[in-house]
Every structure is written in structure tokens, then in C-alpha cells.
Amino acid sequence: MTRMLGQVRIIPFGHARPSEVRNISWLDKPKTDMAREASKSVQDWAQFQQYRGHRITVSKENLHPDNPEGRGTLTVEGVNTHYFVVVPASQQPVQAESLFEGGL
């Protein structure tokens, strides 16, 4: 089992930009671990930072590592307010030109 890294992007319905981006990590072997960690992060953000004292429900039924289009929803007081997606961090190094080769 290896630990995977990524981000949870919490986006209000009707908008394109996330209102919050949170870093998370999950184990790759139980495939449900990614959804569990993402929903826990969204629940913490909603309860302690944004909607303290309100009734909050986090739905994660569409989140799965094999479904890159999957997303979960955040419901506050019975109203869908945000959706969230998980973006895995790139595991491949990015090729770039060396700063020290070529010279002046």
C-alpha cells in the first residue's frame, strides 16, 4: 500500500472557481479510502470554518479513483450549496530545461 497525495477542491454550485482547496492524502488499496478522506476534509471545512451550527450532509457516492469525473456534494440545511472534486497530484516528474546548461 502506498500513500497518494492530492487536493480536494470545494466549488460553489454555479461557479467555476473553488472557494477552498485542501490538501489530502489517502491509501491506494482500499479504493474507498480516497472518498472517505475527501468527505472528511469537506465535513471539517464546513463544520469548523464555514457553516458552524448548521445541519451539514456530505455525499460521496460518485467519488471513486476509477471515475475521474466523479464529484461529491455538500448540503447545508437541505440545500445543495457546493460540490467537491478530488484532483490527484502528479506522480510523474515534470521535464524542464536546466538553468545551468547552455550558458551565456
Bridge partner list, 4? 26
52 assigned to some structural domain = yes
54 assigned to some structural domain = yes
15 assigned to some structural domain = yes
Q: Please give the angle made by the CA atoms of 22, 55 and 60, to the nearest 5 degrees.
A: 50
Confidence category of residue 88, pLDDT binned at 50, 70, 90: confident
Q: Would you state the pLDDT for residue 91?
A: 63
Confidence category of residue 53, pLDDT binned at 50, 70, 90: confident
41 assigned to some structural domain = yes
pLDDT (tens digit per residue) in 12-24: 999 999 999 999 9
| Nearest Cα residue to 86 out of 43, 26, 46 | 26
Q: Would you state the pLDDT for residue 36?
A: 93
Please give the tally of structural domains in the chain: 1
Domain coverage including residue 35: 3-85
Q: How far apart are CA 15 and CA 68, in angstroms?
A: 20
Overall pTM surpassing 0.75 (yes/no): yes
pLDDT (tens digit per residue) in 57-72: 999 888 887 887 889 9
Q: Would you state the pLDDT for residue 78?
A: 93
63 assigned to some structural domain = yes
Q: How far apart are CA 56 and CA 49, in angstroms?
A: 12
Torsion of CA 15, 84, 92, 31, to 10 degrees: -160
94 assigned to some structural domain = no
Element at 26 (helix H, strand E): strand 20-27
